[in-house]
Amino acid sequence: MQQPLSLPATTKKGRKFRLIPKFEDDPRIVSFAQTVVGKLVLLAIFGLVLSTMDEGWKMKLAFLSAMAFLPQLRWLLVLACTLVLTSFFSLDQGFLNSIARAESVQLNQLKLAALVLLPFVLACAAFMLLAALRPKGLFARRPLPWLLGIFFGLLLIACYAPLHGSARLVAWALVFVFSSYFWFLAYAISDCVAVGKANLLHQFATFRAFWGSTAVPIPKGTSHWRRIEAKTPEDLAVTMIKGVKLMVWCLLLSYVNHYYAIVVQQKLAIPNLEQCLNAFTGGKPFPMVVNWASLLGDFLEGLLWFAVWGHIVIATCRMAGFRALRNTYAPLSSRTVAEYWNRYYYYFKELLVDMFFYPTFVRYFKRSPKLRIFFATFAAASVGNVIFHFMRDIHNVLKWGLPRSIVGFQIYVFYSLILALGISISQVRARKPHASRGWLHQRIAAPAVVFSFYCLVHVFDSTGLGGLGSRLHFLLYLFSGR
C-alpha cells in the first residue's frame, strides 16, 4: 500500500517508532505553520536542506516562498518557475547541436523557439481544445493511439524523408520535444475531455513542473493536481510540514547512499554491473561471487539513488502546496511483485495503469476476470513499458538508426515480458483470499523472494545495444559458474 497522506495509519495497534515524528498531527505545530513566522521557518529548513542537493535551490526557494504566501497564484507561479528554470522548454540540446554540425546549420534560440517550440505549443493547445470541444469525438475518446500515430509518423519523416539542413534539424527537434512532453500532453488531453474545457494555463503548468520530472509526469495530470492541492491554510500547513519532513528524510538517505557507494566501490572495490557484463562478453569474466556482489550492489545503489531523487521532487511539490504521494515508498518491504512495482516508481506505474491498463481492462475479456487482468497487465507492464522507454531513449534512433534501435530493444522487451508475467501472477494471486501468514513469511520470506526476483531481472533492465543471448548466458553463469 502506498503511504497514506491524509489519514492516520490504523492498521497496527500501539505507537509505531518513527525516526521523524508526525509533527503534522500536532495541532499546535500545524497552527504555528500557518503563521508568517511558521511558514518562514519551514521554508528556511527546506531551503537549507535543498541547498545541499540542488544547484537551482535559490530560484526554487524564491518561488516556493511566493506560493506559500500567495497560494491563490500557485498555478501561475508553478508555470513561471518552470519556464524560468527550463529556459522556456526542456530540450536536450546536445543532440540538436550534433545535427546542426552535421548539416552545417547555425542553431540559435530564436530559430528554435520560432520553428520548433512555438509550433509545438500551438499544436498541444489545439489538441487540448479539440478534446474539450468534442469530448465524444474520435480523438477525445482514444487520444493515445492518435498521439502515438502522430509521434511515430514524425519519427519516420525525421528518419527517412529526404530532408537536409534546417528542415532535418527542425524535424528531429520536433521529435525530441514531442517525446519529452508526450505523456504530459496525454494526461492534459484526458483531463480536457473529463472536465469539458481546456484551461491552458493549468495544463501547461503541469508540463515538466519545476520540482522535476523525467518523461513521467509527477504527480500525474491536472485533474490529479486539483484533487491533491491544499485548499485551506491548515491543509497547506500540513502539506508543507510533510514536505520538510520528506526533505530531511531524503538528506539522511542521501548520506546512506553516499557512504554505501564508498564502501561498495572504493573499500570493497566491487565493479559495477556494466563492467561485469563487459568483462563477461569480452571472455574474461570476474569470479562468480564478484558478479553476484556487483548485481546486488548495483541494484541497491540504484534503488537508493532513485529514492533520493524522487523524495526531492515530491518534497518540493509538497512545499508548493500539492499533497502528492511519495514516488518511492519502502519498496524492500513489498510482499508481492506487484506491490514492489507500486512502491518503487509509483508515478511511472500510475502512467502505465492510466494509459494502458485501464483502457484495456475496461474493454477486453470482460467475462474472464483472470484473463482480463493478465491481458491488461501485459498491455501496461510490457507493451506500454516498451513504448515508453523507446520514446524516452529516442535519441538512440538518431545515433543508431531506426532498425538497429528496434533490434537493440530486444533485451528490454524480454525484461518487460518477465516483469509483466511476474506482476500478472502476483495480481491474480492477490485476489484470492489467503490464510493469515506468520511474521517470518510476511516480513522476511516474502520480501526476500520479491527482492530476489527484481534483483535477477535487473540483469535485463537495459535499453542499450547488446544481445539478449549474452545476458541470458550471464544469468546462467551467475548460477553455474560456466
Partner 1 sequence: MDPQQEIRNFIEKLLRKKGDLGPFDDAESLILGGRLESIDAVEIVMFLENRFGLNFAEIGFDQISIDSINLIHGLVRSHDSGETAKP
Name the DSSP letter for residue 214.
S
**334, 385, 427, 462: which one binds partner 1 (CB under 8 A):** 427
Q: Give min distance, CB of 210 to partner 1, in A.
A: 22
Q: Which is nearer to partner 1, 195 or 445 (CB)?
A: 195
**217, 359, 422, 447: which one binds partner 1 (CB under 8 A):** 359
- Under the phi-then-psi rule, with left for phi > 0, alpha for psi from -120 to 50, and beta for the rest, what region is 466? left
Q: Does 141 bind partner 1 (CB under 8 A)?
A: yes
Q: Give min distance, CB of 442 to partner 1, in A.
A: 10
Q: Which is nearer to partner 1, 63 or 346 (CB)?
A: 346
Closest CA to 419 of 382, 455, 384, 448: 382
Q: Does 7 bind partner 1 (CB under 8 A)?
A: yes
Q: Give min distance, CB of 424 to partner 1, in A.
A: 11
Q: Does 481 bind partner 1 (CB under 8 A)?
A: no
Q: Does 371 bind partner 1 (CB under 8 A)?
A: no
Q: Which is nearer to partner 1, 112 or 130 (CB)?
A: 130
φ/ψ (deg, to 5) at 276:
-65, -45
Which span sits near partner 1 by CB under 8 A: 189-197, 205-213, 231-239, 398-406? 189-197
Q: Which is nearer to partner 1, 2 or 166 (CB)?
A: 2
Which span sits near partner 1 by CB under 8 A: 115-123, 191-199, 401-409, 413-421? 191-199
Q: Does 137 bind partner 1 (CB under 8 A)?
A: no
DSSP for 159-193, please give it: HHS---THHHHHHHHHHHHHHHHHHHHHHHHHHHH
Packing angle, helices 446-457 and 288-319, rounded to 10: 100
Q: Does 196 bind partner 1 (CB under 8 A)?
A: yes
Q: Does 403 bind partner 1 (CB under 8 A)?
A: no
Q: Does 11 bind partner 1 (CB under 8 A)?
A: yes
Q: Does 369 bind partner 1 (CB under 8 A)?
A: yes
Q: Does 350 bind partner 1 (CB under 8 A)?
A: yes
Contact assessment for residue 352 and residue 376, using Cβ atoms and an 8 Å cutoff = no
Q: Give min distance, CB of 243 to partner 1, in A.
A: 16
Q: Which is nearer to partner 1, 142 or 404 (CB)?
A: 142
C-alpha cell at 178: 514531442
Q: Give min distance, CB of 376 to partner 1, in A.
A: 8
CA atoms within 13 A on the CB side of 291: 25
- Under the phi-then-psi rule, with left for phi > 0, alpha for psi from -120 to 50, and beta for the rest, what region is 214? beta
d(CA 304, CA 335): 19
Closest CA to 152 of 390, 410, 408: 390
Q: Does 366 bind partner 1 (CB under 8 A)?
A: yes
Q: Does 432 bind partner 1 (CB under 8 A)?
A: no
Which span sits near partner 1 by CB under 8 A: 154-162, 202-210, 413-421, 424-432? 424-432
d(CA 51, CA 147): 39
**Cβ partners under 8 Å of residue 60, min gap 6:** 50, 54, 81, 85, 210, 211, 316
Closest CA to 473 of 272, 285, 294: 285
Q: Where are the alpha helices (DSSP H) in 217-287?
A: 222-228, 233-261, 273-281
Q: How many Å from the N-terminal Cα to the C-terminal Cα in the chain?
A: 41
Contact assessment for residue 72 and residue 201, using Cβ atoms and an 8 Å cutoff = no
Q: Give min distance, CB of 238 to partner 1, in A.
A: 13
**213, 334, 342, 416: which one binds partner 1 (CB under 8 A):** 342
Q: Which is nearer to partner 1, 369 or 481 (CB)?
A: 369
Q: Give min distance, CB of 73 to partner 1, in A.
A: 24
φ/ψ (deg, to 5) at 322:
-115, 120
Q: Give min distance, CB of 29 to partner 1, in A.
A: 21
**354, 379, 397, 408: which one binds partner 1 (CB under 8 A):** 354
Size of the site for partner 1 (CB under 8 A): 41
Contact assessment for residue 347 and residue 183, using Cβ atoms and an 8 Å cutoff = no
Packing angle, helices 166-195 and 143-160, rounded to 10: 180
Q: Which is nearer to partner 1, 50 or 241 (CB)?
A: 241
Q: Which is nearer to partner 1, 286 or 358 (CB)?
A: 358
Q: Does 358 bind partner 1 (CB under 8 A)?
A: yes
Which span sits near partner 1 by CB under 8 A: 24-32, 42-50, 244-252, 352-360? 352-360
d(CA 298, CA 254): 16
Q: Which residues bind partner 1 (CB under 8 A)?
A: 1-11, 141, 190, 193-196, 223-224, 227-228, 325, 338, 342, 349-350, 353-354, 357-359, 361-363, 366, 369, 373, 427, 430-431, 433
